[in-house]
Amino acid sequence: MTLIKSISGIRGTIGGAVGENLTPIDAVKFAAAYGAWVKQNRKKDNYTVVVGRDARISGKMIQNLVMNTLIGQGINVVNLGLSTTPTVEVAVPMEHADGGIILTASHNPKQWNALKLLNEKGEFLDAEEGAKILELAESNTTDFANVDSLGKITKNDAYIDLHIIEVLDLPLVTVKPIEEANFRVVVDGVNSTGGIAIPLLLERLGVEVIKLYCEPNGHFPHNPEPLKEHLTDLSEAVKKHNADFGIVVDPDVDRLAFMDENGNMFGEEYTLVACADYVLSKTPGNTVSNMSSTRALRDVTEKHGGTYEASAVGEVNVVKLMKKNNVVIGGEGNGGIIYPSSHYGRDALVGVALFLSLLAEKKMTVSELRNTYPNYFMSKKKIELTPELDVDAVLKTIENRYQNEQLTTIDGVKIDFPENWVHLRKSNTEPIIRIYTEAKSQDEADALANKFITELSDIAGI
């Protein structure tokens, strides 16, 4: 079993030994470190933190531990209960809170859970802030409040509704045309909180909803990562019900993927491409995604007269570059839509509303829409290395070998060839190098990945 402590939070498997898994003691230790950081960072008389969770089986236990730790530090808690990651992000500034915690392990299997940490803007902490919390967690110097200064927990069940209202109020979300389109949609909520939020949003937009795995009980009916090989039931349901398309989200509802009317994947990478195409057609500007995302976003951005730039992998890195470049939309190729007019966080609710607005305007099927975009194919592989191997040295050899190509080295090594690209980056948690490629055909993408697996093996001597 596993406990992973990183700058973005703490995640691990439930049960087992302290310090090796996400046990109650580890949850309390890390929550206390976050509470101490909030006090150091904000320097006020009163503090408030918003806390919400996905539907994982362990969620209520971990949330109670976290909330009671915070009130033990004299921090007030707004308890959203079952919620989504973007809903908590939206709630933090609405509550004028000092931070937020989301209890979710995103697309990890049901035995995992995690504490995702937000600042007072409802955005993920940066590397420096995350490192400070790790330092506080190991110092064991947290002070707790006396009995007269304990915080209070306030329950607020309204925020999914408030989040939906915020989405519907976005100027580019065209409610009336969507209602008039009479869409029929199958929603796979993977038995988590997407099964609450996405159908509610769709019903407010006049969409007929067919629910699949929308009971928020935490028993994931398939691998919760929204990839083609996990979604055969959704494909069958779309065809059976003669639906216009299918929607699937991950357990905390920050990743979004679509399935066309024939039961074929629209392509997780193309969620952002389609939403950006719509936004850029109304509000021209620039875009950002991470280095491992499809080149199609660059093509669509340039078609609308904008400039595209890639960030290092990781939502906080994408957001940082988005702010620097003042972009109108950005995100990650894993189906993460970040729309600054709403907030700086991946948000499947925003993505659904923008996609429906585009589809209502185009008056075409989802498969026809997909055919309007450049066709790229990706390969995602990895090579396992021995723990004692110097991974940085291996990547440096590749960098030197391809120094005459277009290189980006802010996150591993990315080589942009004229017709395709490869991105090599080391894992932060295990001795592997991830190999992402993209090309004009699947065979070409796979061949490029295999070529670099061979090169890396030769360099590493394995």
Exactly one of 8, 83, 106, 192 is catalytic; name it.
106
Q: What is the DSSP string of 223-271?
A: -SS--GGG-HHHHHHHHHTT-SEEEEE-TTS--EEEE-TTS-B--HHHH
Residue 419: C-alpha distances to residues 303, 394, 414, 439 (Å): 18, 25, 14, 7
- DSSP per-residue string spanning 62-90: HHHHHHHHHHHTT-EEEEEEE--HHHHHH
Residue 441 catalytic?
Answer: no
Q: In sequence order, what are the residues at sequence separation of 6 or more whose Cβ sits closer than 8 angstroms to the Cβ of residue 3?
A: 10, 11, 12, 13, 19, 20, 21, 22, 26
What Cα–Cα distance (Å) separates residue 123 from each residue in 10, 67, 316, 329?
Answer: 16, 19, 8, 16
Q: Residue 103 class from Cβ within 10 Å (0-12 exposed, 13-18 middle, 19+ buried)?
A: buried
Distance in angstroms (rounded) separating the CA atoms of residues 142 and 259: 48
Coil, helix or strand at residue 32: helix
Residues with catalytic annotation?
106
